[in-house]
Amino acid sequence: MSHIIHRSLRSVPRMAVSAQGMHITDREGKSYIDASGGAAVSCLGHAHPDVIAALHAQADRLAYAHTSFFTSEVSEALADHLVAHAPSGMDQVYFVSGGSEAMEAALKLARQHFVEIGQPQRTMFVARRQSYHGNTLGALSVGGNEWRRQQFAPLLMEVGRVAPCYPYRDRAEGESEAAYTQRLLAEIEGQFQAMSPKRVIAFVAETVVGATSGALVPTPGYFQGVRALCDRYGILLIADEVMCGMGRTGTLHAVEQEGVVPDLMTIAKGLGGGYQPIGAVLATSRVIDPIRKGSGLFQHGHTYIGHPMACAAALAVQQVIQRDRLLPQVMARGARLRRLLTERLGRHPHVGDIRGRGLFMGVELVQDRASKATFAPELQLHARIKAKAMDAGLLVYPMGGTIDGRSGDHVLLAPPFIASEADIAQIVERLGDAIDAALASLPEARS
């Protein structure tokens, strides 16, 4: 009997009681290798001694001080650290408690920027289908995950919607990657024009799409094209790196590999690595200065912004990543993960695509490789894979609705940066077995 409104109201999840390094242990003593860091959160694994020590020290010194009265040494130090490693020109930081809050703050900062520079007619956002930006109403509005939006749609802002960058599904037969990219960019420009570009506040996109479609990596030139379009029309670019950022793809920020600097960027999960709830918005002075010189006040705020405990955890996590040179390790382990996934699943009759970057990989399941037909959504293949994986002592992050919010299944992998070569091999072996076991559990006529 539980009084918690759990994610499912019909069942209570297994009880986690302890965690160490790559593993979480439940009340029955079963150990699970954490190959998804929860939802791409636990970048340093569990119970990292440096982070625990930093938390103890911060609790002894200053656990909380409200930001309307005080700043704190630790939040200033974290902001300095983030700015020192941010894309050039992103030198302003706003702290919040998670990804959705970061997106809300980014949307409101963008809107207030235009109000302060005398363009209050900009009221609309353009965002992509098959994206996830969070579950609060503003973030859910820009998000393009139909399944999550459906019942709340009447409460949401109207948003201009364009296609995701999803070459496996959407690049036409005979169409080059460059031509596909240009087609997507033309669609975005068409959307700006249809809404009247002077009414658009920002284009919002995950640099690498995470949970909704499983590690969709942009095609070369896509984000540079987006940046150029935004510049042409005076529209801001908001990069959502809540999941793909903070080292997950092998560089601290995924946009570094795209060669663009957004105007606003949200970060969260890997920022604090799960040790505390924390998120942040990074912004350029170009966005913030008009607010500073104008009203002088970002009209926003929550009780826990800049929380010293959260900032202490995040600062320790980021210092360990730097000290232990974990970003090159993400690249190396990521390359191994891709190679082993390809060896184990590359010819699998029900694996259509293996994609991703760094330690952020997606495996898309298909009923038929040639036609790319999906399994019937009612079969809940993704849920079966999750269950079989857990039975085998493996935590992965599968999801359905990969293509349109209803059809398609994928598995997302986001192991901690501390994963050893042996851990990676074990993850792939257990995942391969879990996929086979899930497929074997399907009823006979399975399409």
Angle between helices 285-293 and 99-116 (to 10 degrees): 60
For residue 71, give the DSSP letter: -
Half-sphere exposure of 154 (CA within 13 A, CB side): 1
Interacting residue with ligand PLP among 33, 268, 340, 385 (CB under 6 A): 268
Specify the residue, 132 or 304, whose C-beta has the smaller distance to ligand PLP: 132
Pair 327, 245: CB distance under 8 Å:
no
Angle, CA of 109, 259 and 207, to the nearest 5°: 55
Task: Please identify, using beta-carbon distances, which residue of 106 and 316 lies nearer to ligand PLP.
Answer: 106
Does residue 278 touch ligand PLP according to CB under 6 A?
Answer: no
Please report whether residue 359 would count as binding ligand PLP according to CB under 6 A.
no
Stretch that binds ligand PLP, among 128-136, 185-193, 379-387, 411-419 (CB under 6 A): 128-136
Instruction: Find out whether 126 and 162 touch, Cβ atoms under 8 Å.
Output: yes
- Contacts of ligand PLP in 233-252 (CB under 6 A): 240, 242-243
Stretch that binds ligand PLP, among 14-22, 126-134, 321-329, 356-364 (CB under 6 A): 126-134
Among residues 34, 104, 189, 206, the one that binds ligand PLP under rule CB under 6 A = 206
In the complex, least distance from residue 240 CB atom to ligand PLP, rounded to whole angstroms: 5
Is residue 184 a contact point for ligand PLP (CB under 6 A)?
A: no
Nearest to ligand PLP of 90, 115 (CB atom): 90
Nearer to ligand PLP, 161 or 372 (CB): 161
CA distance to 46, 107, 113, per residue, from 202 (Å): 37, 8, 11
Binding of ligand PLP by 362 (CB under 6 A): no
Residue in 114, 132, 223, 417 binding ligand PLP, rule: CB under 6 A: 132
- Among 45, 87, 98, 408, contact with ligand PLP (rule: CB under 6 A): 98
Closest distance of CB 277 from ligand PLP, Å: 8
Q: What is the CA radius of gyration of the chain?
A: 22
Residue 74, by phi and psi: left (phi above 0), alpha (psi -120 to 50) or beta?
alpha
Residue 133 near ligand PLP by CB under 6 A: yes
Query: Which is it for the CA torsion 125, 38, 40, 408, positive or negative?
Result: negative
Decide if residue 104 touches ligand PLP (CB under 6 A): no
Give exposure, 89-118, as e/b (b: 16+ Cβ within 10 Å).
Answer: ebebbbbbbbbbbbbbbbbbbbbbbbbbbe
96 scored as a contact of ligand PLP (CB under 6 A) = no
Our CB check for ligand PLP shows the closer of 134 and 164 to be 134
**93 near ligand PLP (CB under 6 A):** no
* Distance separating the N- and C-terminal Cα atoms of the chain: 37
Q: Binding ligand PLP by CB under 6 A: which of 210, 352, 398, 400? A: 210
Residue 440, token pair as written in the block = 């074997």
441, 388 Cβ separation under 8 angstroms: yes
SS3 34: strand
For ligand PLP, which is the closer residue by CB, 239 or 428? 239
Smallest distance from ligand PLP to CB 444, Å: 36
- Residue 42 near ligand PLP by CB under 6 A: no
User: Please, which residue, 375 or 417, has the CB nearer to ligand PLP?
Assistant: 417
As a whole number of angstroms, the distance between CA 301 and CA 319 comes to: 27
Does 353 help bind ligand PLP (rule: CB under 6 A)? no
- Note whether 262 binds ligand PLP by CB under 6 A: no
Q: Which two tokens stand for residue 283?
A: 């912004």
Name, in order, each residue with C-beta under 8 angstroms of 20's C-beta and a sequence gap of 6 or more: 45, 46, 47
Instruction: Give the binding site for ligand PLP (CB under 6 A).
Output: 39, 98-100, 103, 132-134, 206, 210-211, 240, 242-243, 268
